[in-house]
Amino acid sequence: MRSASIKRETKETSINLCIDIDGGGEYKIDTGIGFFDHMLCLFARHGLFDLSLTVKGDLKVDEHHTIEDTGIALGEAFAQAAGDKSGICRYAAQFVPMDEALAFASVDFSGRAYLEYCVGCPGEIVGGINAQVFEEFFRAFAVSAKITLHIKALYGANTHHIIEAVFKAAARALRFALEDDPRNGGIPSTKGVL
């Protein structure tokens, strides 16, 4: 089984996370932020990741620490669950529409952390939180997972739809990059290591 459990404790957040990247999309998520919970639920469902997550954060300050630290923990879990990455496809890209919005995500389980995030939102606030914080989530996730991740919203008029398309596209790209490649039983790199 490719799974991981992460416990992360700081003065700002307390996180308990369990993931099975070969799951069926089952989830139990409580971060204390309704819109973020919604995004993580659809991330698990569309990525077919079984995800159990509870976060207690300093929401009296704002949502930033909770969302960024969740990205760190989730990235650590993906890195741990993927193991040495032997036999995976490694790369994947997905376009996902959400009504009038269209988002694209491409991932490389390269062992090198990089995020390119080109997502403009017509409204700054979505679900009561600043939409800019999702760039911090994906940056923290990419760095901790040691992946290269490119995300772009091609267009959209509704901020909720744009962010939802982004999470779904990222989840599906991760899912397919982690799938077994039946023609490649080893490390998918000329270096022999990722």
Q: Please write the tens of the pLDDT for every residue from 61-102.
A: 999 999 999 999 999 999 999 999 999 999 999 999 999 999
Of residues 86, 92, 77, the one with CA closest to residue 194: 86
- 64: domain CATH number is 3.30.230.40
User: Is residue 13 in a domain?
Assistant: yes
User: Is residue 115 in a domain?
Assistant: yes
User: Is residue 194 in a domain?
Assistant: no
Give the dihedral sign, CA 111/1/89/99.
Answer: negative
For residue 112, the enclosing domain spans 3-178
User: Is residue 121 in a domain?
Assistant: yes
Mean model confidence pLDDT for the chain: 97
Based on the structure, what is the number of domains in the chain?
A: 1
The model's pTM is 0.96
Tokens representing residue 135 in the block: 């760039």
Express each pLDDT in 106-156 by its tens digit: 999 999 999 999 999 999 999 999 999 999 999 999 999 999 999 999 999
Tokens representing residue 36 in the block: 């973020």
Q: Indicate the pLDDT class of residue 3, thresholds 50, 70 and 90.
A: very high
User: Is residue 55 in a domain?
Assistant: yes
